[in-house]
């Protein structure tokens, strides 16, 4: 039978399409390994630049882009909806005119589609087209050092790493393209060739991933906003790595005797460079406002290296500055553009386990959270159907706070002194003593109860144990403009609801106060009869234990039986 020309063309097209699909399937599966082989071929002539044989610096591919962090699920507990964005969608063009998705390396100025990025969790397309096999040139590494490998799975770029003391650092400047909102990364002088040699320069908000594309550690930071006291802040770094703190930079400095030990060879201005550490700092310059020139521009290429720290000084972020000396400075403006060197995490990121319960009395659904050996409600009680003692908290403009802030309750209501749901504290209340001091259900849902002071102290002890600059920040929700240092790493999600007084009304709205069922005994006459009970106050940067009269209105947080 004679085939029509169209049929022959159709058959050839189908065959070609099928062949391409098979090629892509196989090619994508082995993409990272082929990519790595190309990279290592450049080092075949020098065995000293191969990976450590002991495996301490093996390729760290992350864990499929999944982020296990407390604040990754915090939005539900706070009632705050977070747009995590995506690493390659709707990104602005960068200053050099590169038409690149934010998941691509952007080093050549080509138009590159790196694929979608798993809802901003750090996982790249399995078949992203590489622009370069390295983040920056490797010619400045120390050939006498053993370097490890790190593949950034977001764009496939491969970096050399170096262990110095008990720290593992990237031995090359980060070159990941970050473009989201007002947060940007740049090539020095807006010349893509400089990204190949020096890596990218980042604004403060881009360095900390203020858009929350890869974690919520630095969400909302930058541009004058302060950041939570995270002991580890991932920022723009690959998964399993983070933007160093000033303390981590100080530790690095303690392992070297001079700036030359950190500086790469081959730059005229760095005559004292030895690079004995293998850190291989390169003078990538910066972009800043120069008051002498009365303009903002790129400066100091080939002269100075400046690396962002995630820590902040009194007014500006810190940076490690390497020139004729190496020191930490806090004089960098958040609009400056500096280099980023990432440091490897030393322990897994904290995982917070959220769940939900339904209060069958009114159908409300609450987030719950496992914290150490305890399970808490991750939201304040919001039960309103009680005959008395329920107060609506309000903000400084005297407007009711959102529902997820919960209600304030007098002691009578908090312990269910009317006995509507249990007899645990029936008859207790202002003017009455109550013998039972623990396992009081009160207004809590069934199988939950009001915490006593011992249970509160166990929560505080856990918050202290997980590190950071203060246990109180680990308890605070980040959905508050008042508590700007909050990290909520426990998932407890406390919110500033204030306190109610029968005399002065609502007040102290920058703090929150929670009932405890433990009595406080006073030596003065009739104080216990009037109803003095212990409570915990959580303020912006500290917590305190005190006592409170039973006619005050405080928040209620329930703990599982």
Q: How far apart are CA 466 and CA 372, in angstroms?
A: 10
Provide the 10 A C-beta neighbour count for residue 527: 14
Q: How far apart are CA 426 and CA 432, in angstroms?
A: 10
Phi, psi of 80 (to 5 degrees): -105, 125
What pLDDT, on the 0 to 100 scale, is given for residue 284? 96
Phi, psi of 329 (to 5 degrees): -125, 145
pLDDT in tens, 58-74: 333 333 333 333 333 33
pLDDT in tens, 464-517: 888 666 788 889 888 887 887 788 889 899 999 999 998 889 999 999 999 999
Assess whether pLDDT exceeds 60 at residue 91.
Answer: no
Which two structure tokens, joined as six digits, stand for 168?
């593992």
Q: How far apart are CA 227 and CA 176, in angstroms?
A: 22
Strand segments, DSSP code E, in 345-403 are 353-358, 365-371, 374-377, 390-391
Give 360: exposed, middle or buried? Use CB within 10 Å, 0-12, 13-18, 19+: exposed
Q: How far apart are CA 299 and CA 406, in angstroms?
A: 52
Compute the half-sphere exposure of residue 73: CA atoms within 13 Å on the CB side of its CA.
20
What pLDDT, on the 0 to 100 scale, is given for residue 101? 36
Assess whether pLDDT exceeds 90 at residue 228.
Answer: no
In 3D space, the residue among 271, 558, 300 whose CA is nearest the CA of residue 414 turns out to be 558
What pLDDT, on the 0 to 100 scale, is given for residue 163? 98
Q: How far apart are CA 545 and CA 534, in angstroms?
A: 7
What pLDDT, on the 0 to 100 scale, is given for residue 43? 38
Which two structure tokens, joined as six digits, stand for 216?
């919520």
Assess whether pLDDT exceeds 90 at residue 393.
Answer: yes
Full-model pTM: 0.63
Q: How far apart are CA 377 and CA 369, in angstroms?
A: 6
Domain segments of the chain: what residues?
42-53+82-108+120-344, 353-560
What pLDDT, on the 0 to 100 scale, is given for residue 532? 60
Q: How far apart are CA 228 and CA 475, in angstroms?
A: 12
> What's the mean pLDDT in 170-195?
94
pLDDT in tens, 119-163: 333 333 333 334 444 567 889 999 999 999 999 999 999 999 999
- Name the average pLDDT for the chain: 77
Label residue 25 by pLDDT band (50, 70, 90). Answer: very low
Residue scoring higher pLDDT (13 or 249): 249
* Helix (H) or strand (E) run with residue 175 in it: none
Q: Is the CB of residue 105 less than 8 Å from the CB of residue 176?
A: yes
């Amino acid at each position: 039978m004679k085939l029509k020309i169209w049929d022959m063309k159709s058959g050839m097209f189908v065959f070609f399409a099928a062949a391409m699909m098979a090629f892509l399937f196989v090619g994508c599966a082995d993409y990272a390994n082929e990519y790595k082989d190309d990279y290592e071929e450049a080092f075949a002539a020098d065995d000293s630049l191969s990976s450590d044989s002991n495996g301490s610096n093996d390729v760290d591919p992350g864990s499929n882009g999944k982020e296990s962090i407390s604040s990754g699920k915090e939005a539900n507990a706070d009632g705050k909806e977070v747009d995590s964005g995506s690493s390659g969608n709707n990104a602005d063009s960068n200053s050099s005119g590169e038409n690149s998705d934010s998941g691509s390396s952007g080093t050549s100025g080509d138009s590159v589609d790196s694929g979608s990025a798993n809802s901003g969790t750090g996982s790249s397309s399995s078949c992203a087209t590489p622009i370069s096999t390295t983040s920056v040139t490797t010619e400045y590494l120390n050939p006498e050092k053993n370097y490890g490998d790190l593949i950034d799975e977001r764009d496939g770029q491969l970096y050399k790493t170096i262990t110095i003391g008990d720290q593992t650092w990237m031995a090359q400047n980060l070159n990941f393209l970050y473009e989201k909102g007002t947060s940007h990364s740049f090539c020095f002088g807006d010349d893509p060739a400089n990204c190949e040699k020096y890596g990218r320069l980042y604004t403060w908000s881009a360095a900390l991933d203020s858009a929350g594309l890869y974690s919520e550690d630095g969400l909302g930071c930058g541009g004058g906003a302060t950041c939570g006291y995270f002991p580890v802040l991932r920022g723009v770094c690959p998964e399993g790595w983070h933007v160093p703190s000033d303390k981590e930079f100080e530790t690095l400095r303690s392992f070297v005797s001079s700036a030359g030990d950190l500086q790469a060879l081959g730059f005229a201005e760095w005559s004292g460079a030895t690079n004995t550490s293998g850190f291989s700092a390169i003078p990538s310059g910066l972009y800043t406002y120069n008051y002498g020139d009365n303009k903002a521009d790129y400066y100091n290429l080939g002269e100075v290296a400046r690396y962002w720290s995630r820590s902040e000084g009194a007014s500006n972020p810190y940076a490690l500055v390497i020139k004729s000396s190496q020191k930490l400075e806090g004089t960098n403006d958040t609009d400056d553009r500096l280099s980023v060197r990432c440091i490897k995490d030393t322990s897994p990121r904290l995982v917070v386990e959220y769940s939900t319960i339904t209060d069958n009395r009114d159908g409300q659904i609450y987030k719950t959270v496992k914290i150490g050996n305890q399970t808490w409600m991750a939201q304040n009680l919001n039960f309103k159907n009680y005959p008395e003692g329920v107060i609506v908290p309000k903000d400084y403009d005297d407007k009711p706070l959102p529902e997820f802030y919960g209600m304030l309750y007098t002691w009578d209501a908090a312990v269910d002194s009317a006995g509507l749901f249990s007899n645990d504290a029936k008859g207790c209340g202002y003017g009455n003593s109550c013998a039972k001091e623990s396992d009081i259900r009160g207004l809590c849902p069934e199988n939950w109860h009001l915490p006593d002071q011992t249970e509160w102290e166990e929560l505080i002890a856990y918050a202290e144990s997980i590190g950071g600059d203060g246990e109180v920040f680990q308890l605070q929700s980040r959905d508050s403009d008042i508590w700007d240092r909050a990290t909520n790493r426990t998932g407890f999600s406390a919110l500033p609801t204030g306190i109610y007084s029968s005399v002065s009304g609502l007040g102290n709205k920058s703090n929150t106060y929670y009932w405890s069922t433990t009595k406080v005994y006073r030596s003065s006459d009739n104080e216990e009869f009037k109803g003095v009970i212990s409570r915990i106050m959580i303020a912006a940067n500290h917590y305190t234990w005190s006592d409170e009269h039973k006619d005050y209105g405080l928040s209620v947080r329930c703990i599982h039986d």
